[in-house]
Structures are given as structure tokens and as C-alpha cells.
Structure 1
Amino acid sequence: MEEKIVIVLNEMSEYLSITQMKKLQEVIIKTFAENKVSKVAIKNEDFLNMFLSAKRIEGCSERTINYYKVTVEHLLSYTEKNVRKITTEEMREYLSNYQKRNNCSNVTIDNVRRNISSFFSWLEEEDYILKSPMKRIHKIKTKKTVKHTITDEEIEKLRDNCKEKRDLAMIDLLYSTGIRVGELVNLNIEDINFEGRECVVYGKGDKERRVYFDAKTKVHLKQYLESRTDYNEALFVTLDAPYERLKISGVEIRLRNIGRGLNIERVHPHKFRRTMATRAIDKGMPIEQVQRLLGHSQIDTTMQYAMVNQNNVKTSHQKYIA
């Protein structure tokens, strides 16, 4: 029955507006439901739960799924309408009011737009709606700021001022591999191959990849592991008993506090990742290989991490143009 309804709707789409098409779809489904539960009867909360389940199956992390959940729940609390009846104009008004109420930046509101777009795109793909109301709401322009990397001097300061062997090993591993903080905390001791100076990490979507670390990291990792007295399988654990696996927030807080003590601005795990990508490209590593190390599915994502060094541009100009 649903296949026949889709055929009718496709035939009529050329002659009716989106609003008319939505109404036609509701009338047809309601009329020919034949004792089946109509999609019209599905509650907004049920749509959200189905969407989150789909994202979970796709391999999204719980952190990402929770971000989707919070964003869409906020939208659902704003309207009494069924999501199938929400229009583009209403979504524009919602985003505008959201930004005014929360006094948030264009970057934040664009993240909200992107999450909600994913929700409506899923509804469209699953044939719960004819067309996403977000399709005509384009990416919100944001001010491009130069994202700073960690300098050679700063990395040495961070190393020299680590009072714990764990922190030194953690900083070196982040700096030499460029792995995500989520990948770092999920590492187990058995994942580390000291002889080959490499380890296997599981990135977004549980994609497995191999990353490599330098000799300095190897030494500091071994010293840290030899100093431990616990039996936890995790590579990095808390400093105090019961020595549990270190969490993302624990890494972020620790790095931030070390940085503040040295007056180094914004020391966080992602800054090490960006630094590694930038250094690799500056030294001539092919972008495809950097992409592989970082675990990006799209090379455009890798390019966003690679900040072009202005000194290199000047040197190249003198070599090729001047």
C-alpha cells in the first residue's frame, strides 16, 4: 500500500505545492491505512527516539547522540506541532529566536542548524515527510579565525613542567599521533606495540586505524607503565585509587590546568591534533597520508586542520616568483 501511495505522491508533486502535498499525503494515508498504525499518529518523541536509534546503528558516539538528543528536544519543547507539519519559515523563526535568547555565536547556531537538519533529513529519507524544511536554510556564515597550534617552545615547556609521568606520556602520545581525545582514553595497554612504535585506535563509526609515535613517546610511555601498581587494562588511568580509566573530561581538565600554570593559552587535546596535522603538511607529508593518520573519511576535513604556515608561503614566493 505504501509503495502505491508514494507513486501517487510522486505523480502529483509536479502540480502541487509542498504544503498541498503534505496534506494530500496525510489524507491518503489516513483513508487507506486499513487498520495499520498511520505515520501521522507517531508522536514527536517517538520520531526522535527512532532517529537516535538510527544514529546509534550508524556508529555515532554516545557523546554525538546526546548532542543530537538535546538539540532536537529543545526544538520539540518549542512547538506543539507534529514535526511532519513544521515549515521552513517556522524553522527560520526558531533559529533566529534561539540565537537571540541564548546570545550565541554564529558558530553555535550553525551547529544547532546542522543537528536539526540531520533529524529532518532522516525523516525525509524514511518517507515520514516529503521534504525537509531545513533544505532551504543554508549554512550560516561564520567568521573564520586562525586556529593556533602549539609551538616547539610551548611543547617543551609542557613536557618540562609535567609532575606526573602519566601526564608526560599523555602529552607526547597526543602530540606525535594526533589522535582524538576519545580515542586516547579508549586505548588499552595491549593496543600499544612498543617494538613497532604504533598502536591501533578506533575512531568515529568504530573505524579501526593504525597510528605511530616517536621514540621519545615510547620512552615516556614505558616509564609511566612501569611506575603503575594497578591492574587496570586501560592505558591511562586516574592518579588515585581505585585507578579507573581516565575520562575525556579528566584529560581536558588536566591539560588546561597545566597550560594555565605556564600561561599558555587554550591547551586542549584537539590543539595537539591540529598541531600534528599542520607540522606534517608543512614538512611535506602528502595530504592523503595525513588524512589516513587522522582518520578522516573526507579530505576536505583534513584540509581544515592544516593551517598554512605564512613563513612557508613567503619562502615559496621567493623561490618560485621573486
Structure 2
Amino acid sequence: METIINAVLAQMQPFLDGFQFKQLAVSLKAAFENAERPPQQDREDLLELFLTAKEVEGCSPKTIAYYRTTLEHMTATIAKPYTQMTSDDLRDYLNGYGSRNGAGKVTIDNIRRIMSSFFSWLEDEDYVIKSPVRRIHRIKTAQVAKEVLTDEQIESLRDGCSCARDLAIIDVLVSSGMRVGELVGLDISDVNLQERECIVTGKGNKQRPVYLDARAKLHLSDYLETRKDENPALFVTLKGRTKRMTVSDVEARVRELGRATHVGRVHPHKFRRTLATRAIDRGMPIEQVQKLLGHAKIDTTMHYAMVDQNNVKTSHRKYLE
């Protein structure tokens, strides 16, 4: 194989510039490797290598599983080696996926982003010359202003808490804006009540400080005084053997509080979006909100935060009339 590739390259070198010469070398190598092994093996090997790379980058097991499921479905549907998939193949797949599954634009664009990440990796690793997803642009979706919690609703949730633990959870979520996964991952030793801050481990195992207000400090102190167990977790279950609360535990409890207090549908992420919106609405620089929430890109912060329309109206009158 190497002999044939080198012979072809030697013949073509006088007619090509440096970039073209490199691309020809990559193409010849890929073509021979594909011919020497079954297409199915090619697909399985490359997918596993990609997932390993994402794991090394710090992606969570949940994210890895989502990548695997999405790409395996794409692979089975298109039924071609990755090195032979074209932009048209991928467009047809996305269009067909939406039609067959009744998927919305947000879901389809999530699939496109995963495909883009995978084929960009194949390009970087010289398995393909150019990612076929480059020609598939981001799918435009309607910007829906998502609901945030009002002051009255937050007070209702506090009033609905029947134990110190639940009250502490509500106030920590309200004041810090941390993710629910970060909340349940906290140990008591991660919290500095004196400074009203704690260290959370976010996506990609990145740590950052988050801050608590005076009310959260007070209620968290009250809760910790009730603890008689030796579990290191900050928030634990109340019934049966004491265990660290899971994401599902917190989601279920917050959902129950929302129903019991007639606040409506409440989930932990709603507190995060509420904090982001209020912070921007009250003048906190967007870069600081980004740090507070632990976002890698500022675009994500802007997506979370919806500025209060009444304040936009007031600012218009102040600055433009």
C-alpha cells in the first residue's frame, strides 16, 4: 500500500502545491484503508475513537451516551462508511428524521450539532478531507421567551416547604443559579458559610465558585444543625437509610412543591434561568453572569436570559425619547 501511495505522490508532486499534495496523500491513505477493512468495522472503530476523545475532553457519561445513540442511529440509517457520507446524505437524514419522529427544529439542530462535532473530529484526524456538515447551516428556531419565577412565586414555594432541607434547597437554587447536578454533587466541606460561597463542579469537571445570599446562608445553617448523620453530602434523603440526593430526587421534590403551592410547573433549571434574567435585567455585566453560571460561551448566557420587556420600555423612554 505504502509503495503504491508513494509512487502516485511522486508522479503528482510537480503538478500540485503543498496543500493539494497533502490532501491527495490523505485521500489515498483513506481509500486504501477503507478497501482493506469492512465498512462496518470502519464505522465502529471511528465512532469508538471519537467517543473516547470526547470522554478525554471531559464530557459527562450522559453526554457520551447521547452522542452514541444519535450517531449510531445516523450510521444505521445512512448505511455508508463515514468517509463516503455526503452533505446530501446528511440533509436527507435530518429531513427524514424530522418527518418520521415528528421532531421539532430544536431537536433536529441538536442532531446537526452532534454530527458536526463528529465529522469535524474526523477531518481534524485526517479520516476525511472535509466535513460534509460544513455545508449544513444551523437550523433557525423560534425564540420563545421562557417563563421565570416571580418574587411572589418564590415566596409561595418557600411557604410550602415542610422541612429545613427543602427550604435550604429552594434558597440555594434561588441565590446561586447552580445546575441541579452541581447541587447534588456538593459536599458539606464544599460550603463556606462564613463567606457565603461554595465550590461546585460543573460540566467538563470544571470547578467554579458560586455565591449565596443571607437568606440561603441562614436556612442552610438551620438545615445542617438538624443533621445527625455522617454522610458527607450536603443534601441527603430524609426517609430510610441516609443517602445523597439524586437529580431525580430534587426534581421530584421541586415539582411537588410547585403543585402544592399552585405555582405551576417548577423545575430546578427554572431557578437558574430566573437568576440569569434578573442579573442582566438589573445591570450585572453579561460577562459576570457568564462566570456565575459557568458557561463556556457568552451566547449560551444570552440564550438563558430574557430581559424584562417593561424595563426595555423604560430604557427606551429614558435614552431615546
Same fold judged by TM-score > 0.5?
yes
Mean Cα displacement is larger for which, 162-171 or 209-218?
Answer: 162-171
Alpha-carbon distance change, 163 to 215 in structure 1, aligned in 2, over 3 angstroms:
same
Retained in 1: the 8 A contact 2:87–2:135?
yes
Distance 1:302 1:315 in 2: 23
SS at match of 2:135: coil
| 1:240 alignment partner in structure 2 | 239
1:147-166 counterparts in 2 under 5 A?
Answer: 147-166=146-165
Distance 1:137 1:173 in 2: 41
| 1:301 alignment partner in structure 2 | 300
| 2:117 alignment partner in structure 1 | 118
The TM-score, its normalising length taken from structure 2, stands at 0.88
Retained in 2: the 8 A contact 1:201–1:210?
yes
Alpha-carbon distance change, 11 to 257 in structure 1, aligned in 2, over 3 angstroms:
farther
| 2:172 alignment partner in structure 1 | 173
Alpha-carbon distance change, 274 to 102 in structure 1, aligned in 2, over 3 angstroms:
same
Distance 2:230 2:283 in 1: 42
Alpha-carbon distance change, 285 to 23 in structure 1, aligned in 2, over 3 angstroms:
closer
Give the superposition deviation at 1:39: 10
| 2:128 alignment partner in structure 1 | 129
Give the superposition deviation at 1:42: 4.6
Amino acid at match of 2:200: V
Identity, in percent, stands at: 53
Give the superposition deviation at 1:12: 9.2
Give the superposition deviation at 1:24: 4.3
Give the superposition deviation at 1:297: 2.1
Alpha-carbon distance change, 156 to 81 in structure 1, aligned in 2, over 3 angstroms:
same
Amino acid at match of 1:250: D
1:53-68 counterparts in 2 under 5 A?
Answer: 53-68=52-67
- Which sections of structure 1, spanning at least 5 residues, go unmatched? 32-36
Q: Does 1:105 align with 2:104?
A: yes
Q: Deviations over 1:47-103 (max 9, x none)?
A: 121111111110111111111111112112223321221111111111111111111
Distance 1:302 1:139 in 2: 19
Retained in 1: the 8 A contact 2:156–2:263?
no
Distance 1:87 1:156 in 2: 55
Retained in 1: the 8 A contact 2:201–2:207?
yes
Q: Does 1:75 align with 2:74?
A: yes
Distance 2:30 2:42 in 1: 15
**Runs ≥4 residues deviating over 3 A:** 3-15, 20-31, 37-42
| 2:183 alignment partner in structure 1 | 184
Over the aligned positions, Cα root-mean-square deviation in angstroms equals 3.0
Give the superposition deviation at 1:146: 0.5
The TM-score, its normalising length taken from structure 1, stands at 0.88
Alpha-carbon distance change, 143 to 39 in structure 1, aligned in 2, over 3 angstroms:
same
Alpha-carbon distance change, 190 to 21 in structure 1, aligned in 2, over 3 angstroms:
same
1:45-60 counterparts in 2 under 5 A?
Answer: 45-60=44-59
Distance 1:266 1:134 in 2: 37
SS at match of 1:231: coil
The structure carrying a bigger helix percent of its residues is 2
Amino acid at match of 2:141: T
Retained in 2: the 8 A contact 1:13–1:21?
no
Alpha-carbon distance change, 22 to 78 in structure 1, aligned in 2, over 3 angstroms:
farther
Q: Deviations over 1:223-264 (max 9, x none)?
A: 212222321111111222222111112212221222122332
Alpha-carbon distance change, 193 to 263 in structure 1, aligned in 2, over 3 angstroms:
same
Distance 1:27 1:153 in 2: 65
